[in-house]
Amino acid sequence: MVELTIDGKKVSVEDGITILKAAQMNGIKIPNMCYDKRLRPYGACRLCVVEAEKQPRLLASCSTPVAPGMVILTDTPKLRKVRQTVLELMLIHHPLDCPICDKAGECDLQDVAYEYGKPEGRFIRHRKAMPPDVRGPLVELTANRCILCGKCVRICSEHQGRGALGLIGRGFPTVVQPAFGEILECDYCGQCIDICPTGALLSKPFKFQARAWFLEEKDTICPFCGCGCTLTLGTREGNVLRSRGKEDNGRSEGNLCGRGRFGFDYIYSDNRLKTPLIRKNGAFVQATWDEALMHISDSLKYIINSYGKDSVGAIGSHRCTNEDNFMLRKFMVSVIGSHNMDSSAAFGYSKVQKALDMAFGLKTHSINMKSPLGKDVIFILESDISITHPVFGLNILQAKREGSQLIVADSRDTKLTRHSSNYLKMRQGTSVALLNGMMKIILDKGLFNREIVSKTQGFTEFETSLAEYTPGKVSKMTGISEEELVSTAETIAKAKNRMISLTVSATENTKGMDTVLAASNLVILLGEDIDALQIPAEYANTYGTYKMGIRPDAGKTDVKDIFDMLYETNSLNALYIMGEDPVSTFPYNSKIMRTLKSLELLVVQDIALTETAKLAHVVLPASSWAEKDGTFVNAEGIEQKIHRIVDAPGQSLPDWQILRNLSLSMGKEIAIRNIEGVSEEIKKTIREDQKTSDKRVFNTVSYSAGEEPDMEYPLSLVTRDVLQHSGSMSTRSKALDLVVSEAFLEINEDDARKFGISDNSHVKITSRRGTIYLKAKVTDTVQPGTVFTSMHFPHGRVNALTYPSENGAAGTDAVKIESVKG
């Protein structure tokens, strides 16, 4: 600790921090323009200068470390004069176009100029006269307003790890630009917009929409991935106009990705449902709530009477709040009397859960967003966390910057592989073989505590099962060289502490339950706690949906799970789908469609007319995330409130309210009047999770390939997420569709040549289950023999090719492709 005096206040702070930080920690404000706590000190603006006793020079407080006994003055006439001059110099080039600048009203430069600025300038100005760069889809660059603090450039390269912007030129003509003055093509996270102290970088969708002082800002939780970031939504007269992150606000501490920042406008998509629809003679007819609910309750009663309670099933949703999912459960259990419930978690989080239950005896698994920090070795297994969970990914990048060793095993180049210390280029879907091979090396070299670990249940079987995974064989399976395998295994085993992370979700087909089991084995083998394994739940409320009991094992044991409900015809007679779109997001959609068409009653409750809703008998309009109160549980297991910010369109209602009304029309009184009532019920019924357990079990896992490429289907299809999209909900956002609006097939240059495919040409892709047509993108980021695509887009129908893997193995698909001429 260091003792020093700032403005007459004696403070004691940690050694090595800067004067500015010390002052901020003690509530003393020093004006600054180029400092951000996420970035390294830069010292560009010189506004943060302070006086120190016995120091002839002024010190830039943002980059001067504290020293014992320092006496600092932060606001003296001399400093004011200096700051005034600094501002005067900044304002030489800054155009005073505040009336048409969207930053006005929340502009750092405006605020500082108001406080310290001089009423007149002494210099002849040379204004930059560059037209604003409006070519990019989401970010607009106005070089004239830039004061060259370099914050955007630094946050892009240091924090986001992207480096899309640079300071181009020297001296006065310096501008912030993408390389060679081209169109800004980046992650579109928009962090540069938030961090810019002037209006040089602005959000395009928000351009000229409202002045800062007309906006009413409300905090809510992002509806996309499992990070659970806090969005600050700017609304005007009941319309959400923008979303931004506030410093130190929420789990994300102000960081946002492109989805959170630009994707909120899916609530204004054109095909939002406004009234209930009932299918009459094959076509949808608008109906009133009474008609629709009566129709459903009559049909349900008839089905229960003729086929029994177990012929009714329900699918919950990670897009809905805990309250909605809880009401669905209550409706199913106490009104229908059936336990056939499941959600999209069955393809991801449930698998993780099952595996961890087997290995660690835990019923829930939560991550810690800060866990990568301070870890010796971070091992990422065939996952692009900076795409699926961008803000968690930022922490991984930060840990790497702070000295952790980042080992990434992946089958394609991603942001994480670019930043990795070791990049293991592996064959797709071979994580289990890789993990088994590494464990074999650790076992053989004795890099674990045999005395303790050998007592663990299942160790002997586990050890013998690994016998076949010799480095040579694993090297052949995974495509990673033997030396690399050995050195990686040694690094991971010898590290002081480590973190192993991967993602499992419906949109990825290279990992399954086996992968999680193998990763758990590694963790147990190394004598680590479950904290070393970080597998985030995929979407905003996947964790909550699971916790609320929308899962097949919650009630009885002989219940039907999603594989029975959607992939087996005649297993159900009625299906109630809340906020889920199986036809466009779950694998093997032709089979799903066959099942759904065979149902006697299909009720879909959603915000828009989805592909699934088009097959329904009754469609009920629900409110979106911004139009209702409730709670989401993020991947960390933290419950966060979402708020009703705008009015719901038309007659749409919150999901829990629809289910309550439906219960009433079924003749069952549910004593719930309002959202607080639901919350109380939840508190009474749902038990808190157990977070620790002593159970450790080795589960023998053997590598089995999904569909291996053969002569007929020579390529392997891998599905992954695209950074700008999350599930199929974000594809309704106009802003995000400006960046990526359709599914595309990424193919290696060599393969493209082999199959005669050129960039942007159309390709016919056939698997054993279906055929689709996509645009090709020839790239060198994927390996020969594999093609990549994403499942988000309903029109892409990529899930016509894939199949659900029930047994836990990875479900890669073999496909053949043909170029489409003409």
CB 772 within 8 A of CB 799: no
CB of 134 to other proteins, least distance (A): 5
CB of 105 to other proteins, least distance (A): 8
Q: By three-state DSSP, how is residue 68 classified? A: coil
* Smaller CB separation from other proteins, 203 or 585: 203
Residue whose C-alpha is closest to residue 545's, from 340, 332, 325, 227: 325
Distance CA 457, CA 450 (A): 13
CB of 96 to other proteins, least distance (A): 5
CB of 83 to other proteins, least distance (A): 17
* Smaller CB separation from other proteins, 125 or 445: 125
Distance CA 199, CA 196 (A): 7
CB of 646 to other proteins, least distance (A): 17
* Smaller CB separation from other proteins, 113 or 516: 113
6-65 residues in contact with other proteins (CB under 8 A) are none
* Smaller CB separation from other proteins, 97 or 750: 97
381-410 residues in contact with other proteins (CB under 8 A) are none
Q: Is residue 214 a contact point for other proteins (CB under 8 A)?
A: yes
DSSP one-letter code for 105: T
Q: Is residue 238 a contact point for other proteins (CB under 8 A)?
A: no
* Smaller CB separation from other proteins, 92 or 486: 92
Distance CA 47, CA 60 (A): 8
Q: Which two tokens stand for residue 784?
A: 């020969």
Q: Is residue 247 a contact point for other proteins (CB under 8 A)?
A: no
CB of 615 to other proteins, least distance (A): 39
CB of 127 to other proteins, least distance (A): 8
Q: Which two tokens stand for residue 452?
A: 């303790």
**What is the DSSP annotation of 332-383?**
IIIII----EE-GGGGTHHHHHHHHHHHH--S-----TTTTTT-SEEEEES-
Taking each helix axis from N to C end, the angle separating 349-360 and 513-525, rounded to the nearest 10 degrees, works out to 30
**What is the DSSP annotation of 179-244?**
GGG----S----HHHHH-SSSSEEESTTTTT--GGG-EEEEEE-SSBTT-PEEEEEEETTEEEEEE
86-145 residues in contact with other proteins (CB under 8 A) are 91-92, 95-100, 104-105, 118-122, 124-125, 127, 132, 134
Question: CA separation (Å) from 627 to 205, 226, 240, 608, 752?
Answer: 21, 20, 11, 14, 46
Question: CA separation (Å) from 148 to 49, 172, 173, 390, 444?
Answer: 18, 10, 10, 27, 56
* Smaller CB separation from other proteins, 128 or 401: 128
Q: Which residues contact 95 (CB under 8 A, 6 or more apart)?
A: 127, 128, 144, 145
Binding mask 483-522 for other proteins (x = CB under 8 A): ----------------------------------------
CB of 98 to other proteins, least distance (A): 7
Which of 40, 207, 280, 795 lies at the binding interface for other proteins (CB under 8 A)?
207
Which range, of 42-50, 206-214, 622-630, 693-701, touches other proteins by CB under 8 A?
206-214
Q: Which residue has the tokens 């003729």?
A: 306
CB of 103 to other proteins, least distance (A): 12
**Residue 119 C-beta-side C-alpha neighbours within 13 Å:** 0
* Smaller CB separation from other proteins, 121 or 472: 121
Which of 27, 183, 208, 710 lies at the binding interface for other proteins (CB under 8 A)?
208
CB of 210 to other proteins, least distance (A): 8
Question: How far apart are the two ends of the chain, measured CA to CA in Å?
Answer: 73
Count of residues of this chain found to bind other proteins when the rule CB under 8 A is applied? 27
Which of 180, 213, 570, 671 lies at the binding interface for other proteins (CB under 8 A)?
213
Which residues of this protein are in contact with other proteins, per CB under 8 A?
91-92, 95-100, 104-105, 118-122, 124-125, 127, 132, 134, 207-211, 213-214
